[in-house]
Amino acid sequence: MILRDKTEWRTLALIAACYGLWIFLLFGVAQITPLLAGLLIIPVLTLHSSLQHECIHGHPFARRWLNDAIIALPIGLLIPYLRFKDVHLQHHQNASICDPYDDPESWYLAQDFWAGLPKPVKLLFQVNNTLVGRMILGPAISLVRLAISDGRAIRAGDRRVQMTWVLHSVLAASVIFVVVRWSPMGLPAYLACCYTGLSILMIRTYLEHQAEESVGGRSVIIEDKGPLSLLFLNNNLHAVHHAYPAVAWHQLPSLYQRHRERFVAMNKGYGFSSYGEILRRFAFHRKEPVAYPLVAKKPR
């Protein structure tokens, strides 16, 4: 069987629909109204990132190289898929979720690093810890941090990181060429869509983890069933995903409902009713400090 199981046609169909919508908006709708095409292509780019996350976790095919091949085209341009894959799998294999030294996806800063930052930079990170700030500044900060860390790895001779960026550059150049050559949208507008698509993704990552002594209490549950839940492929049930990372997106809600009390107890009640509640509470207010409030593991 090529598919991982018989239910995986849902993920495969969604990937095909995502690429199909991208092409239709870029070369169909954009011929009539580039503005509408741009507004509609933003959630498509966010969905593509969510589908990349599914492929990283072994869906829809049984063979991982097939999953990588079907989703690696960087229509979002900004982040190499294989770097996303390596970093995210490291995040999942790590018992120290949120630790700024140990978790590559942590938004916390080490206390000694935080203490040495200039006041304007501290203000920047404090604004970034509000939801609106994260949507505006978060993509830029995450891209700069990735560039710095990968630049160091390449200079240190890390061939995997180097070849990942070479492959990404080739694939991204092909996307850019197609956009510039044939789409009425134009590259500047398309890049703005890519950034905004990543901004929407920041809504999901904004509080999906918290610093908590109990590892089980570090991942959030957001009981949202609206469009953002679909766009994030039910990853709002993040504690469920971390407990069962191999479970497909379309199986997460039923798994959660069957064992709701156990999951809520496991994550120490770290949850919200909807993304609307999160917007009301944290749009312009920081959820927590920037500096990691627990004892971090020092790098060796």
How does pLDDT run across 105-123, given as a tens digit for each residue?
A: 999 999 999 999 999 999 9
Asked if the model's pLDDT at residue 60 lies above 60, the reply is yes
Predicted confidence at residue 1, as pLDDT, reads: 59
Q: Is 117 exposed, middle or buried (0-12, 13-18, 19+ CB in 10 A)?
A: middle
For residue 25, the one-letter residue type is L
DSSP state for residue 271 in the 8-state scheme:
E
Q: Is residue 127 part of a domain?
A: yes
Q: For residue 214, tell me if it sits in a domain.
A: yes
Determine, yes or no, domain membership for 291.
no
DSSP H/E element including 222: strand 221-222
* DSSP H or E run through 121: helix 119-128
Question: Is it the case that residue 295 has pLDDT exceeding 90?
Answer: no
Task: Tell me whether residue 16 is in a domain.
Answer: yes
Number of domains in the chain: 1
Whether residue 236 is contained in a domain is answered as yes
Q: Where are the alpha helices (DSSP H) in 156-269?
A: 159-182, 187-205, 227-231, 238-243, 252-258, 260-266
**What is the pLDDT, as a whole number, of residue 213?**
87
Q: Give the CA dihedral 244, 161, 12, 8, nearest 10 degrees.
A: -30
pLDDT category of residue 296 using cuts at 50, 70 and 90: low
What is the distance between the alpha carbons of residues 26 and 228, in angstroms, rounded to a whole number?
22
Residue 231's identity, in one-letter code, is: L
Q: Token pair of 25, please? A: 């908006």
Give the pLDDT confidence score for residue 216 in this predicted structure: 85
Query: E-assigned strands of 46-194?
Result: none
pLDDT of residue 273: 95
What does the pLDDT look like over 5-28, one tens digit per residue? 999 999 999 999 999 999 999 999
* DSSP assigned state of 221: E
Residue 161 lies in a domain: yes
Q: Is residue 300 one of the residues assigned to a domain?
A: no
Question: What is residue 298's predicted lDDT score, i.e. its pLDDT?
Answer: 59
Give residue 138's domain range.
6-282
Q: Is residue 293 part of a domain?
A: no
